[in-house]
Amino acid sequence: MPGHIAIIMDGNGRWAQQRRRPRMIGHRAGARAVNRTIEFCLERGIAALTLFAFSSENWGRPQEEVDSLMKLFLGALDREVDELHRRGVRVRFIGDRSRFSAGIVQRMDKAEQRTLANAAMTLNIAASYGGRQDIALAARALAQQVAAGTLLPEQIDEQLLGRHVALADLPAPDLFIRTGGDTRISNFLLWQLAYTELWFSDVLWPDFDATILQQALDDYAGRERRFGLTSAQIAADAAQGALP
């Protein structure tokens, strides 16, 4: 079982288009698929779920779509946080908050504070998030420490940079899922996905359900994660119970 699943929820627009409805109808149906997915992960005891809701590039969509997505986001924050809290979900947001309206930022902060001590599952919502921006901000934070004289350039290594990117306090995602048929990362968690198992589905996000998620989990269970080692080494380590 993966401890951490990261999902690019793609295909809302095409789902609506197939029904000759406005794209926003697809986004609304997508929000229902989010609820199903959270429910499933809670039932299965998945420790962390990270959902790509809105990328730093999505700000470039037609203003009307961006506005409707913000409205949907605001409504979801008002409606869903109570239930998530009741279910013991810790909610967090990653991405550039400065681009959201004050009302949205306030609700995000409130949801995080309110659910901070919950332990059933950590739900990370990537909103206004970009993987390159994530790494750039980590580099900037370290550069500021060097400039302040509290860090030597030689002390910068993978571990240190890795502690400054988003989700640094969680194990990296074990399983990445992208719906919608495209096989790309689209600037999602670039650093964090280095050794994540990737799984792609043609299913459009609003149609995502327990059956498809179960297919992803079954596939994942059959994979051998080698982390650069040989199969024989992995088998020996597993026999000794030495793998993380």
Active site residues: 10, 58
Q: Considering beta carbons, is residue 2 or 26 the nearer one to Mg ion?
A: 26
Q: How far is the CB of 64 from Mg ion (least distance, A)?
A: 16
124 binds, among Mg ion, ligand IPE, none (CB under 5 to 8 A by kind): none
Residue whose CB is nearest to ligand IPE in the complex, by number: 13
DSSP string, the chain: --SEEEEE---HHHHHHHTT--HHHHHHHHHHHHHHHHHHHHHHT-SEEEEEEEEGGGGGS-HHHHHHHHHHHHHHHHHHHHHHHHTTEEEEEES-GGGS-HHHHHHHHHHHHHHTT--SEEEEEEEEE-HHHHHHHHHHHHHHHHHTTSS-GGG--HHHHHTTSTTTTSPPPSEEEE-SS----TTSSTTTTTTPEEEE--S-GGG--HHHHHHHHHHHHT----TTS-HHHHHHHHHTT---
Q: What is the binding site for ligand IPE (CB under 6 A)?
A: 8-14, 52-55, 58, 69, 180, 182, 184, 186
CB closest to Mg ion, residue no: 10
Task: From 5-13, 58-66, 142-150, 164-172, give the range in contact with Mg ion by CB under 5 A.
Answer: 5-13
Q: Residues 8-47 vs Mg ion: string with x where CB under 5 A? A: --x-------------------------------------
**Partner touching 52 among ligand IPE, Mg ion, none, CB below 5 to 8 Å by kind:** ligand IPE
Least distance between Mg ion and beta carbon 58 (Å): 9
Least spacing, CB of residue 178 vs ligand IPE, in Å = 8
Shortest separation between residue 13's beta carbon and Mg ion, angstroms: 6
| Chain residues that interact with Mg ion, rule: CB under 5 A | 10
